Amino acid sequence: MPSGRASAAPACRVSVLIPVYNERYFAEILIERALAAPLPDGVDSELVVVDDCSSDGTAEVLARVAARHPGRVRLHRHTVNQGKGAAVRTALAQATGSICLIQDADLEYDPRDYPALIQPILDGDADVVYGSRFAPSACRRVLRYWHAKGNALLTGLSNWFTDLDLTDMETCYKAAKTSILRSIPIRSNRFNLEPELTAKFAKRGCRIYEVPISYRGRSQDEGKKITWRDGLQALWTIVYYSIVDDAYEPRYGRPALQRLEQTHRFTRWLTDRVRPFIGDRVVEIGAGLGGVTQRALPRSRWVATDADELHRQYLESRFAGYPGLEVRPFDLDRPEGHELATGYDTVVCLDGLARTADDVAALRALAALLAPGGRMVLMVPQGRWLFSPLDRAIGGRRRYSRQAIRQAAEASGLTVEAIHGINRAGVPVWVLNGVLLRRPRLDRVQLKLFDSLVWLWRCVDGLLPWPGLSLLVVLRRAPDAAVAASPTAAPAP
């Protein structure tokens, strides 16, 4: 660690993930440079090195370097060569920092670029930062023409499928919040790690920044390992992950909820439907992985709540530094003892009510969060005859009729302002899979097709002759009602 840095515990740690394979002559130099890399005040680093079963004496070099820097260099070894992606996966599992940065073990990339790579994340602006070899002002060695054109082709194709405008998708230098990187399943074992991560970052809606970096590329004659075969594999990976939705680790919520989170066009449609009813001081109940949250912002105050601690950790990372937003625990089945403020002008609860043991008690607890005259925006599943294993898979206990939700609202002291049926196009899909075939989850291909046709469902939703799959319900608290705050609650600012 450079001299002069404070000895107090750092505010942030960067885990540098270094996959190594047969880099006997460069690995030690690279590690020493990475250890000496300048970092912003309050930031320290650790190096997580994975030897991918090197056969040229690299293992002995790495063991010597790790022994020289105990505590800062942690060494792991694969007994079988698996590839860069597999080594990064191993390193990521061992990382302890809040930011991870991928570093190749050759000398093509300069650790002196670390501050530029992590600063957008530290500032709260980015979730992921790419170091671009081709961005303006980047200092780089002139590359072989066809190698550069191959990079441009892969980046362009990736951009076409992900709707990003990166200048260098294939760059090694990718820094990301550790919580986000760990929540993404990494399937690729080789160099197709780069397009896989890019596709999944895009599908997750991550805020991606790009910064120029210096680059001293080497040729195959000088030991570069990537070949034209890896380029073909990258092409396949780009196309494959544009079709297949695989952007969440299984531990992040129920699988059925995950799949619904990945219907990005439908989530945008839903958000467009509820946005006119949302005020400026909002508490969202059951924010999940933040799909609606992201699309409904900005607001002067938005409190995203969830009962699942893993979801809250993800939300805190995803929206870190976002002005006016905070993440808090709240369980609709156990609302007593919560630490939420009161006096919000809007409570948003999309699909959570159907999973509660006592929906009237839950509505009363939510009403207590509202200021007099405030609105509650609910989405509940409609049609009791549609209740099926699909509902149970997402924790659902009931489906509603218009009369049933109206009775529950009135029993809670709330006035029904509006009830709209939505998503009529989803009813045949639900009937086929849940009611007839008794499946506990929706087929990925069906969901993908349904989501790709949301533009059509928007057009015909009001024309189809049957009730919608869900009800959008807008409730109002009486303007002269007293706010029944909990003992630990305080008025919302």
Rounded to 5 degrees, φ, ψ at 441 are: -150, 160
What distances in angstroms separate CA 49 from CA 44, 46, 63, 87, 300, one per listed residue? Answer: 16, 10, 10, 9, 44
Q: State how far the alpha carbon of 245 is from the alpha carbons of 138, 201, 232, 446, 449, in Å.
A: 34, 12, 21, 12, 12
Residue 3's pLDDT is: 40
Please tell me whether the overall predicted TM-score, pTM, comes out greater than 0.95 for this model.
no
Q: Please list the rounded mean pLDDT of every run of 10 residues in the chain (493 residues).
A: 45 93 92 95 94 94 94 94 94 95 91 95 90 74 62 87 90 92 91 92 88 74 61 88 79 54 84 95 92 91 89 80 90 82 93 91 94 95 95 90 95 94 94 92 81 92 94 92 46 57
Q: What is the DSSP letter of 202?
A: H
User: Is the distance from CB of 169 to CB of 150 less than 8 angstroms?
Assistant: no
For the domain with range 255-477, which CATH number is right: 3.40.50.2300, 3.40.50.300, 3.40.50.150, 3.40.718.10? 3.40.50.150
Buried residues in 136-173 as b, exposed as e (16+ CB within 10 A): eebebeebeeebeebbeebbebbbebbebebbbbbbbb
As annotated, the residues of the chain forming the CATH 3.90.550.10 domain(s) are 12-243
The DSSP annotation for 424-482 comes to TTHHHHHIIIIIIS--SS--HHHHHHHHHTHHHHHHHTTTSSS--SEEEEEEEE-TTPP
Provide the pLDDT for residue 246.
79
**Strands (DSSP E) along 21-135, which ranges?**
43-51, 73-77, 99-102, 128-132
Instruction: Look at the block and give the residue holding tokens 């260098």.
Output: 168
> CB within 8 A of 112, min separation 6: which ones?
33, 37, 38, 214
**Distance of alpha carbon 139 from alpha carbon 128, whole angstroms:** 22
Give the DSSP H/E element, type plus range, for residue 228.
helix 228-243
Sign of the alpha-carbon dihedral angle for 294, 296, 297, 299? negative
| CATH 3.40.50.150 domain range(s) in the chain | 255-477
Quote the DSSP letter at residue 143: P
Please tell me the predicted confidence (pLDDT) of residue 191.
Answer: 83
The SS3 of residue 414 is: strand
Q: What pLDDT, on a 0 to 100 scale, did the predictor assign at position 252?
A: 57
**What is the CATH class of 12-243?**
alpha beta
CA-wise closest residue to 321 among 491, 121, 79, 80: 121
pLDDT of res. 314: 77
